[in-house]
A and B are shown apart, each in its own frame.
Chain A
Amino acid sequence: MNHRPGVADRLDSLRRRTRRITPGTVLVRGGAFVFAAAALLVAVPAGVLVMPAAAVVLVAGAAGAALAPRTRLTTIVLLLAVVGWLAATTAYGEPVTLTRLVALSSLLYLTHTTTALAAVLPYDTIVAPSVLLRWLTRTVVVLAASAGFAVAAVLGVQAAGGRAYLGAAVVGVLLVAALAALLAMLRRR
């Protein structure tokens, strides 16, 4: 006879699982939640943020990415933030400022890399502090380089004036070529 777990069993199981949660994984998943929520907050237009539904989507999306890092939820949240950014800077006419752009690019990458770490750590893992420190160091290096690139891009666009379209196309094509080369190299090895 099949025994289907009742509500009490599920609650008991949840309570037991909660007791096993370790500080290291809470830190990582908490970071993923904060970064995802902040990315959405920075990207989505202010006019949309005042709507109650937006707050629900923001919290639910960030929580989903933090609690289920092995699913596609992180990708969806990242894409949602990009769509929000496009809407804010086109439909809502909000200006593209350096600060907001650097903040958003950093937060998107932080969300991505933090959920990548959370995905390989079960919720009850005892994490050595040096593991988190090493991860943080590498992330900071990437973010610093990206921020430098962002500053250069913004200044370059300002200097180029009306030829930003051409600049974006050239840099974009270069990036795509680099990406294709990277993938080809990975496949060869």
Chain B
Amino acid sequence: MTDAWVPTRAFGRAILMTGLLVLVAVLTGRYDLVVLAAPFALGTALSLRRRPTSLPAPELSTFDGRIVEGDDFAVRVSVANPDPVGLDLILFRLSLPRWVRVRRGDHPYAAPADAGSLAEIELEGTALRWGRHALGPLAVHGVACDGLLVTLRLDCEPLPIRAYPMTDPFRADEAMPRAAGLIGQHHSRRPGEGGELAGVREFAPGDRLRRIDWRVTLRTRRVHVVSTLSDRDAEVVLLLDVLHEAGESGGTGGAASVMDTTVRAAAGIAEHYLHRGDRVAMLEYGFRPRRLRPATGRRQYLTVLEWLLDAKPSSGAYEQDAGAFGAHLLNANALVIVLTPLLDQRSAAMIAGLARSGRFVVAVDTLPPDLRPATDTGWGPLAYRLWRMSRENVVGLLREHGVPVVAWAGAGSLDQVLRDVARMATGPKAFLR
């Protein structure tokens, strides 16, 4: 017998009852005890007449390995019985991660498994929060011979489910502080090939013939051309402060923690700018900084979403190495949007340092507005008020450094500050490098 099939207590009970009843029958000469023993002997013999030798083969699969948080997905649990002997049943139980809900998925299932057949069950689930989730493992037991034999626990590898963050709606109508390159949708202040009319001027060598304004040329009897402002793209760097997590995440439809707001806002902002043709880079400010190089287009958007799945709080007691994180990682003309809860002095210092190095920095406050620490001690409310005042002081200092700090409020929440930053970019600058 295969070692993986083990006898159950019922097997021992059947043998015990048969042996004991027959023994007493032989000793006392009572035929009725033989009759009582008969079903146990007969049942055991019939059950064990054909016994399985192979083990069931479980498998977990889904057609929806990549979904957006809150979306439904289908999981197929299939257990094959490769043995020529049918099993009584296959018992399986699916372990669920915290942020995945599968309807009736927390129950074990008992399914029939005839010889050489496949037992399949389709379950419907929902990813309650963004991230990489591992559905499983799937624990399987085979039961054969009327419950006299069972397999030891068989495990199926967990099924990875990627739940991309639900993008918070974001819209920013304002121009970039410093557009670069020669493509994109931002109207720059430099003349060049573009769609925005800058004026009409006299023809000069190098002008394209198709730009000649014939109406003005005929009126003035001198060749004039239409001049336009060039369209430029811009680089946006989304800097995620992942030093700390705060607040309790309630998944989709529930409360949002700092990481929730950070990741969803980053996805929304990246989607917006990538849709407009800008280059978007990602950077993490944590114990081990991660970086995603700037690029444009839909592929970059998918890469950003994938990159965001691995965002997690990574705090360390030590200061980061200056070489590992600093202004040198950022393009001088890039708009840096820092998503930060401002819970750590190191975050404020980092933002101030970026502003001092001449970067256009906008800080987006991701701390949940309704965050309240546990105040069951007498000093709790006072400590909370002191902490709030200290944090407001930090925000004030950042504003003095020229860093606008705005609370994340979805669509249009950055318009005002982007307008201010764009205006500042046109003026003369004086900063320390």
Give chain A's interface residues, CB within 8 Å of chain B.
20, 22, 24, 70, 72, 74-75, 78-79, 82, 85, 89, 96, 101-102, 104-106, 108-109, 112-113, 115-117, 119-122, 124-128, 130-131, 134-135, 138-139, 141-143, 145-146, 149-150, 153-154, 157, 164-169, 171-173, 175-176, 178-179, 182-183, 186, 189
Contact = CB atoms under 8 A, between A and B. Distances in A.
A68 B10 CA distance: 13
B150 interface: yes
B110 A131 contact: yes
Contact of B8 (A78, A116, A134, A189): A116
Contacts of B37: 175
A101 B110 contact: no
Given A126-B107, A176-B26, A75 B36 contact: no
Contacts of B208: none
A128 B112 contact: yes
Given A105-B38, A168-B34, A121 B91 contact: yes
B219 to A, nearest CB: 86
Contacts of A130: 112
A18 to B, nearest CB: 14
B89 interface: yes
A120 B88 CA distance: 11
A130 B89 CA distance: 9
Nearest to A114: B147
Contacts of A112: 10, 13-14, 17, 40, 43
B111 interface: yes
Interface string B22-54: 110110011111111111111111111001000
9 contacts: A20-B107, A78-B13, A121-B110, A139-B43, A142-B43, A142-B46, A164-B31, A178-B41, A179-B18
Contact of A176 (B22, B43, B48, B109): B22
A171 B31 contact: yes
Chain B at the A interface: mostly helix, strand, loop or mixed?
A: helix
B433 interface: no
B363 interface: no
Contact of B31 (A72, A125, A139, A157): A157
Given A125-B109, A138-B146, A169 B29 contact: yes
A168 B29 contact: yes
Given A125-B107, A189-B1, A119 B8 contact: yes
Contacts of B146: 113, 116-117, 135, 138-139
Given A105-B36, A116-B147, A142-B39, A122 B108 contact: yes
A138 to B, nearest CB: 6
B16 interface: yes
A169 B26 contact: yes
B13 A75 contact: yes
Q: B19, B38, B107 — which one has the most chain A CB atoms within 10 A of its CB?
A: B38
Nearest to A146: B39
B107 A179 contact: no
A145 B17 CA distance: 18
Contacts of A74: 10, 13
Contacts of A113: 10, 43, 146-147
Contacts of A106: 39
B39 A131 contact: no
A112 B39 CA distance: 10
B418 interface: no
Contacts of B15: 179, 183
Contact of B9 (A22, A109, A119): A119
Given A112-B40, A157-B31, A125 B110 contact: yes
B9 A101 contact: no
B305 interface: no
A145 B109 CA distance: 32
B21 interface: yes
Given A126-B107, A142-B46, A134 B17 contact: no
* Most chain A CB atoms below 10 A, which of B22, B104, B107: B22
A141 to B, nearest CB: 7
A183 B19 CA distance: 12
Nearest to A150: B35
Contacts of B162: none
A143 B111 CA distance: 25
B364 interface: no
B148 interface: yes
Contact of A175 (B41, B51, B110): B41
B330 interface: no
B34 A135 contact: no
